[in-house]
Every structure is written in C-alpha cells, then in structure tokens.
A and B are shown apart, each in its own frame.
Chain A
Amino acid sequence: MPGCLQIDGLRFLDWEPISLEVSASEIVGITGDSGSGKSLLLRAVADLDEHAGEITLDGQACASIPAPQWRRKVAMLPAESRWWSETVGEHFVSKDSSLVEALGFGIDVFGWEVSRLSVGERQRLALARLLDRGPEFLLLDEPTANLDAGATQRVESVILASELPALWVSHDGAQLARVASRQFRMGARRLEEVVA
C-alpha cells in the first residue's frame, strides 16, 4: 500500500517547525493567502529547497536515498507546468492512453506540439505526465487553477481514482472540502489545522 508520509520538525527559512502525518490514501488540504509559503512547503517536502527536519515515506527517510529517487516517489505538480521537448509524447515514459483519455484527450495527444497547447491543456497534461511515472505520493500545487468546471471535475476524479495520498494546495475551500479529509491553513509562518 503506497504512502504514509511523515513530516517531523520540518523547517525552512524562518518558519516554525512543521510536523504532519498523512496516512495511506489520505488527502490533506492546505490553504492560505498567496505568498504564505504553501508552495515552499511542497518544495521542501520534494527536497527541492534546503530544509531541516526529517521526512519519511513508508519509514524510508528522504535523506537516505538519492534525491531523484525520492522525487520519483514524492512527486510534485507545480502551479505552472513547464515543457522542454517539441511534442507532448516526448515528455511521457509509458504513454498509458487510459490516463490521458480520463483527462479528456484522445490518444493522438502524444503527437501534439507543446507550443500549441492552451494553458488549461498544459495543466491537465502535466498531471498525466506526473502520474505516468508511477509516483507513490503527490504534492499538488493548485492543480485546477486555470481550468473550467468540467476540466476541474475530470482532474479531481483522476487524482481520486489514483488512490494516492497527497498534500493538496488550493485556494478553493469548497474543492478541499470535496477531496480532503483534513485541512490545514498556512499563515504567520506556521501551519495550523482547520477544525471543521
């Protein structure tokens, strides 16, 4: 069963230490004003920024395995997706068609040119690209920020169908109420649980 993430005394910049446990297949929502450091928290968990404290996945410490291997397990979806090759397909490893179909694309999407994608298409395909690599834990930074209602629903159901545990950053309180079992709020350099 993938993913019990344990964050123990995580510190970055001058924040108060953060401790948090996400159990298998649980989604934890994180809200907060822009600039409150939500993305920084996800980056630290993905080991993209320097930090103190220990993070473990299924008992395996982040520092005990090479960083690329950690990031393949604990995968982060940034708010804005970036692409480097010409076609969509070049960014995928397994090219599993069921994934892109669930997000509303045809199998021909792998031949599309990245430069002709809309912002919303890019965002949905970035999620497909991430799940395609078989992660064990998701760090989602505003995964539906640029999407209309229909696309938002597709993305939510694809993430839920993956049954992967996640930290889900969103501005949309209603969305977090739908997908997350617990919610936390970032502000004033600390993370506080929101009691429903």
Chain B
Amino acid sequence: MSVFAVVRLSVLDLALAGSLVVALAIATSVWKLGVAQTMLVAASRLVVQLLLVGLILKWVFDRADLVWVILIALLMLTVAGREVWVRPKRRLRGWWGFGIGTGAMFVSSFAVSVFGLAALVQADPWWSPQYAIPILGMLLGNTMTGVALSVDRLTAAAWDKREVIEARLMLGESGVTAIGDMGRDALRAGLMPVINSMAVAGVVSLPGMMTGQILAGNDPSDAVRYQILIWFLIAAGCGFGMLIAIRLTSKRLFDERDRLRLDRLRAG
C-alpha cells in the first residue's frame, strides 16, 4: 500500500546529478589521476545499459511469459559466469574455468531463487517477472562477487605456495587435503563480506533494495521484510555457490595422480 505518491524524476534532475560526475571527472584530470575518461565512459554505459534494461523489463513484464523469464535468466547467468571466470588474476584454462563458476552459480543462485519465489514469495504465477528477475539478479550479483573473490584467493594461494602443496603431496597427502587449508581461507575471505553486510544492515547501511522500495512509496515495514528475505537468500546462494566453486576448483588443480597442475592456470 502506497503511503505517498512517488515523486517522478525529470530528465533535468538526472542531468544535474550527472553534472556532479562530470565535475568529479574534471577534478580528477586536474589532479592527473588518469581515470577521468574511464569514469565518463562508465557513467555513459550506466545510462545506456539501465535505459535499455528498463525498456526490456517493461516489455517482458507486459508479456509475463515463462519462456522470456527463462531466456533472460540464462542470459544473466552467462554474463555472471563470464565475469566470475575472467576476474581472478590466475584462472583455469578452457571451458573448465567458465563451467565451474557458471555451474556453481546455476546450482546455488537458481535453486535458492526458485525456492524463494515458489515457496516463500508465492506470487501468482510464482515466476512472475516482476519478482523473479530482480531477485535472481540480486542473488547472482552477490554470488558472482563472492565466487570470484574466493576463487581468486584459492588460485593465487596455489600459485604462491606451490612448494607447500607439493611438500604435503610428497608426504603422501591427497591433493584435496594438501590444498585444504587454502580452500578454507578462500571460503572465509569470500563469506566475510556477506556476514559483515548482514551484521551492519540497517545500522551502518540501508540496503539498496529497501531504499528503493521506500523511495517508490512502499510501507517501510514491508520493505524491511523483503530485505530480510533477500539477505537470507543471498547468504545461502553466495555460501553454497562458493562451496561448490572452491571444491571443484581445488579438484581441477590436481590430476588423477594427485599431481599439482598449475599449468591449468593462466594469468588474467
């Protein structure tokens, strides 16, 4: 239920906000930071991408067709999978690298989204694009960051501490055991941001989705409930996604004779 009418933003409002970014770009070029151009390109991309997404979403919402929801979901997954694959400094070569990240996100984010939509939100129909696409997007976005961070940690540690891993192999440990400590460190590093965000939500930061709902005129207590649900889904999607990705990456770093195979990694 709307408490008040939404104040619509005019093009002039957006242009004025944009002028702040232009001012920042000028300031950085005076300081010779060399990021002005990148920043302006990024800001322009933001405008174009979001306008396009707005159009696409409106089109999909009007049709409310399951096929379109699935197509968009798969497109989001593919883009997120590519991001996870290319972001780590040292990444697995070939289809394995892409497949592990994408597979981990597919299993975790998709499963958790379907659970959240079908069992908890229960819109009619449960896959309504108004609910399905934003929820999956938030899950994928957070899982992507977490998986990329933890895989980066793991491959960097394997590269830097190859002698430790091989020393343990020489003592008769299996590959999974020899790299186990590094896998645990990587998972801890990936989970920390999720845990921290939950701990300070509402106190230090007002979560973006909640802010958006409140600005859009929704009752804050409804917005809060959705935010709590979303955070639980994010934590689960992120955590299980990382567990799968770290487990598979650890395995892939060794061959069937438990030899450390750093030749399967390549620099970013």
25 A–B contacts, CB within 8 A, in A order: A47-B259, A48-B169, A48-B170, A48-B259, A48-B260, A50-B259, A66-B258, A67-B257, A68-B169, A68-B172, A68-B173, A68-B174, A72-B171, A72-B172, A75-B170, A75-B172, A76-B170, A77-B170, A78-B167, A82-B166, A84-B164, A84-B181, A130-B170, A130-B171, A133-B171
Interface residues of chain A, those whose CB is within 8 Å of chain B, are 46-50, 66-69, 71-72, 75-78, 80-84, 129-130, 133
| Contact, CB under 8 Å: B167 / A82 | yes
* Interfacial chain A residues near B171, Cβ < 8 Å: 71-72, 75, 129-130, 133
Chain B 149-181, CB-CB to A under 8 Å as 1, else 0, gives 000000000000101101111111110000001
Interface of A is mostly: loop
| Contact, CB under 8 Å: A67 / B170 | no
What's the nearest-Cβ distance from chain A to residue B5, in Å? 62
Interface residues of chain B, those whose CB is within 8 Å of chain A, are 161, 163-164, 166-174, 181, 257-260
Among A48, A49, A77, residue most surrounded by chain B Cβ atoms (within 10 Å)? A48
* Interfacial chain A residues near B258, Cβ < 8 Å: 66-68
| Contact, CB under 8 Å: B173 / A80 | no
Q: A49-B259, A67-B259 are in contact. Are A82 and B169 (CB under 8 A)?
A: no
What's the nearest-Cβ distance from chain B to residue A5, in Å? 16
* Interfacial chain B residues near A84, Cβ < 8 Å: 164, 167-168, 181
Residue of B nearest to A93 (CB): B171
